[in-house]
């Protein structure tokens, strides 16, 4: 269950969607504010390359640090380093890592088209959302 207490299973015909998140360019945590957010414990994110051809779905407890690791290619032989994935195009926030891992498995289990639809609903221009992340 997410921050709203509802399960993340998609309704028939609705595609993948997680409740408790605002829409805009990427999904922001509802509880996120200018102060440190104690409620967010896990993130699911989708990254792509400059040409938007390769997609990677991951999970982390610290999205900002994880993105830095991807962008500086800290792990040279990783999938994201091999395919030059540097653009954060979608992310979701959760109250626990267990919830985030469940959602990651749901997204990874879906088709490529469902991932593309998820990104298009929330970031139609596929802009890099890294700079929009708030501290905390």
- Residues 72-131: tens digit of each pLDDT: 888 888 898 889 999 999 999 999 999 999 999 999 999 999 999 999 998 899 999 988
pLDDT of residue 75: 84
Whole-angstrom CA distances from 58 to 11, 35, 52, 79, 96 are: 23, 25, 16, 11, 15
Query: Which residues have CB under 8 Å from 116's CB, separation 6+?
Result: 55
Q: Which residue has the higher pLDDT, 122 or 14?
A: 122
pLDDT at res. 135: 52
User: pLDDT of 96-108, one tens digit each?
Assistant: 999 999 999 999 9
- The CATH code belonging to domain 21-124 is 3.40.1440
Beta strand spans in 1-136 (E) = 21-22, 28-29, 42-48, 55-60, 87-94
Q: State residue 61 phi and psi, 5-degree precision.
A: -95, -10
Indicate the domain borders of the chain: 21-124
* Residue 112 three-state SS: helix
pLDDT above 60 (res 42): yes
Residue pair 134/34 in contact (Cβ under 8 Å)? The answer is yes
Mean pLDDT of the chain: 77
């Amino acid at each position: 269950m997410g921050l709203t207490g509802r399960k993340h299973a998609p309704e028939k015909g609705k595609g993948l969607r997680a409740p408790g998140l605002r829409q805009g360019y990427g999904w922001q945590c509802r509880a996120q504010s200018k102060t440190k957010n104690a409620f967010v414990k896990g993130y699911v994110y989708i990254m792509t390359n400059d040409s938007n051809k390769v997609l990677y779905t991951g999970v982390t407890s610290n999205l900002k640090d994880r993105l830095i690791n991807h962008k500086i290619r800290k792990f040279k032989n990783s999938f994201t380093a091999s395919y030059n994935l540097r653009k954060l195009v979608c992310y979701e926030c959760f109250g626990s890592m267990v919830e985030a891992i469940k959602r990651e498995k749901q997204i990874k289990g879906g088709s490529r088209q469902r991932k593309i639809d998820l990104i298009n609903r929330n970031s139609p221009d596929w802009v890099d959302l890294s700079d929009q992340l708030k501290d905390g």
